[in-house]
A and B are shown apart, each in its own frame.
Chain A
Amino acid sequence: MDFSRLGELEIEAIKELGNIGAGHAATSLSQMIGKTIEMSVPEVKIVEISKIHEVVDAERVVAGVITGLNDLENGEAGYLYIVFPEETTKKIANIILDGNEEMLESALMEIGNILSSSFCSATAEMLGVMLIPTPPNFAMDYSIAILDALLSQMASKGDHILIFNTELRDEDKSVKIEIMLLPSENFMKYIAKLVRMVE
Chain B
Amino acid sequence: MMSELLVGIGEFRVAKGNFILKTIGLGSCVGIALYDPLKKVGGLAHVILPQSDGIKRSAKYADQAVEMMLEAMERLGARRRNVIAKIAGGAQIFKHMTHENLKIGDRNVEAVKRQLEKFGLRLVSEDVGGNVGRSIYFYVMDGRMLIRYSNGVEKWI
Contact = CB atoms under 8 A, between A and B. Distances in A.
A149 B48 CA distance: 8
Interface string B101-123: 11111000000000000000000
A149 B28 contact: yes
A93 interface: no
Contacts of A146: 27, 93-94, 133
Interface stretch (A23-31, A35-43, A50-58): A50-58
Contacts of A153: 101-102
Interface string A141-179: 111111111111101100100000000000000000000
A152 B104 CA distance: 8
B150 interface: yes
A85 interface: no
B5 interface: no
A105 interface: yes
Contacts of A151: 9, 48
Interface in B35-88: 48-49, 58, 60
Contacts of B135: 59, 142
A68 B97 CA distance: 11
Given A53-B6, A58-B24, A138 B49 contact: no
A61 interface: yes
Interface stretch (A7-15, A114-122, A129-137, A186-194): A129-137
Contacts, number: 112
B31 to A, nearest CB: 11
A151 B58 CA distance: 15
Contacts of A140: 95
Nearest to B108: A152
A143 B105 CA distance: 17
B129 interface: no
Given A137-B99, A141-B133, A142-B27, A155 B93 contact: no
Main secondary structure of the interface of B (DSSP, over half): loop
Interface residues of B, number: 33
B148 to A, nearest CB: 9
A145 B102 CA distance: 12
B12 to A, nearest CB: 10
A139 interface: yes
Contact of B27 (A53, A105, A109, A141): A141
B24 A139 contact: no
Contacts of B11: 50
Contacts of B150: 61, 141-142, 145
Given A50-B8, A135-B98, A155-B49, A142 B29 contact: no
Interface of A: 48-53, 58-59, 61, 66, 68, 105, 109, 134-153, 155-156, 159
Interface of B: 6, 8-11, 24-29, 48-49, 58, 60, 91, 93-99, 101-105, 132-135, 150
